[in-house]
Amino acid sequence: MNDTRIDWPALAYVTWRDTAATLHLWTQIVGKVRLALTPWVNHGWQVPLYVTARGLATSPIPSGREIFEMEFDFIAHRLGVRASWGAERSIPLEPQSVGDFYRRVIDLLDDMGIAVRIGEMPNEIPNAVPFPRDRLHASYDAGAAHEFWRALLQADRILKLFRSGFLGKASRVHFFWGSFDLAVTRFSGRTAPPHPGGVPGLPDAVAREAYSHEVSSAGFWPGNDAFPQAAFYSYAYPEPEGFRDARVPAAARFEKALGEFILPYEAVRAAADPDALVLDFLASTYAAAADAARWDRAALECSPGVPGKVRRL
């Protein structure tokens, strides 16, 4: 398909606000299952979800000497769980409270022989309510969830291309259920000053471990009540002097309230070449961070990857 309106679906936050809030909490429940059973990896890289051909999935989670996977399927609209011992179960994605979804997930896993206890408080959400007691968030618009996933497909594709142009330490492109965003992070190789913490619902120790080294991080976020619009974003930690004054594509800007550059999703949808605009945004904001912080760019960068071709040395 080459119709921008199809490839980049409408994603006005106001039209799916309630579904977004509910889905955010549902992904936290599934993500916390992975967190509870998976050995810790630097920067919390053991916890994210990943974009798939049908939705968002955990990848394999250990269960004793076996493994299982959980996937939000935004085509069939179900949460599927399949295990290496052949068991397979699912829960329909439909209007239901966070409390009901939580109980159904735990009961389903117990029925499959997967014993797990998760932290019941949501992360990175102000004034959060424990999952079992949350009866307020109960919306699920299947069409909106599908469009959100379709937007994630495009963001995931471009972020992976951007990721291929870096030789240094870098994360996978992954979906963090705490902040409800798709992200990729590049590292200079140098340690960073301790993160100040203070993120709502996130232990300071987790924030400090996540930002133990200098980063330039970018991604895609669907918005929330404080910033009700979808956008690509880019930031640096620690923020070097002069970073926010860098020249970026005309459609982008530095958002002081967020402490990062943003490129509104609607500007991407309206662009003659959305891919080129997003890549320009990612490249220019990364360069701003790397130049201002004096990264060794010659040693860290390479040409973007090409399918089927070995990178030239």
**Cα angle: 181, vertex 23, 11; to 5 degrees:** 65
The whole-angstrom separation of Cα 199 and Cα 213 is 18
Same domain, 113 and 255: no
SS3 69: strand
Domain boundary among 99, 133, 167: 133
Domain boundary among 133, 156, 174: 133
Asked whether residue 307 is assigned to any structural domain, the reply reads no
With 70 as the cut, is the pLDDT of residue 110 above it? yes
Same domain, 74 and 147: no
Asked whether residue 82 is assigned to any structural domain, the reply reads yes
Same domain, 110 and 225: no
Asked whether residue 1 is assigned to any structural domain, the reply reads no
CA distances from 149 to 18, 201, 281 (A): 16, 26, 22
Same domain, 274 and 202: yes
Same domain, 178 and 293: yes
Contact 263, 252 (CB under 8 A): yes
With 60 as the cut, is the pLDDT of residue 287 above it? yes
Q: Residue 85 carries which DSSP code?
A: T
Q: What share of the chain is helix, strand, coil (3-state, %, to 5)?
A: 35, 20, 45
For residue range 133-180, what is the model confidence (pLDDT) as tens digits? 999 999 999 999 999 999 999 999 999 999 999 999 999 999 999 999
Containing 248, the helix (H) or strand (E) segment is none
Asked whether residue 57 is assigned to any structural domain, the reply reads yes
Claim: this prediction has a pTM higher than 0.75:
yes
For residue range 11-23, what is the model confidence (pLDDT) as tens digits? 999 999 999 999 9
With 80 as the cut, is the pLDDT of residue 126 above it? yes
Percent of the chain with pLDDT over 90: 95
With 80 as the cut, is the pLDDT of residue 125 above it? yes
Same domain, 200 and 296: yes
What tokens were used for 286?
Answer: 């990364």
Domain assignment of residue 63, given as a range: 8-133
For residue range 88-106, what is the model confidence (pLDDT) as tens digits? 999 999 999 999 999 999 9
With 70 as the cut, is the pLDDT of residue 4 above it? no
Q: Which residues contact 157 (CB under 8 A, 6 or more apart)?
A: none
Same domain, 123 and 271: no
pLDDT of residue 220: 98
Asked whether residue 14 is assigned to any structural domain, the reply reads yes
Same domain, 112 and 214: no
Same domain, 53 and 93: yes
pLDDT of residue 284: 98
Same domain, 75 and 160: no
pLDDT of residue 1: 43
Same domain, 82 and 156: no
With 50 as the cut, is the pLDDT of residue 111 above it? yes
Asked whether residue 310 is assigned to any structural domain, the reply reads no
pLDDT of residue 3: 53
Same domain, 158 and 281: yes
For 195-204, the CB contacts below 8 A with 24+ separation are: 195/237, 199/124, 200/124, 200/125, 200/126, 200/128, 201/121, 201/122, 201/123, 201/124, 201/125, 201/126, 201/128, 202/123, 202/124, 202/178
Helical residues (DSSP H) of 38-141, grouped into ranges: 98-111
With 80 as the cut, is the pLDDT of residue 6 above it? no
Count how many domains the chain has: 2
pLDDT of residue 5: 54
Buried b (16+ CB within 10 A) or exposed e, 42-54: ebbeebbbbbbee
For residue range 274-286, what is the model confidence (pLDDT) as tens digits? 999 999 999 999 9
For residue range 24-62, what is the model confidence (pLDDT) as tens digits? 999 999 999 999 999 999 999 999 999 999 999 999 999
With 80 as the cut, is the pLDDT of residue 188 above it? yes
Asked whether residue 2 is assigned to any structural domain, the reply reads no
Domain boundary among 112, 133, 154: 133
With 70 as the cut, is the pLDDT of residue 221 above it? yes
pLDDT of residue 283: 98
- The mean pLDDT of 218-237, rounded to a whole number, is 97
Asked whether residue 116 is assigned to any structural domain, the reply reads yes
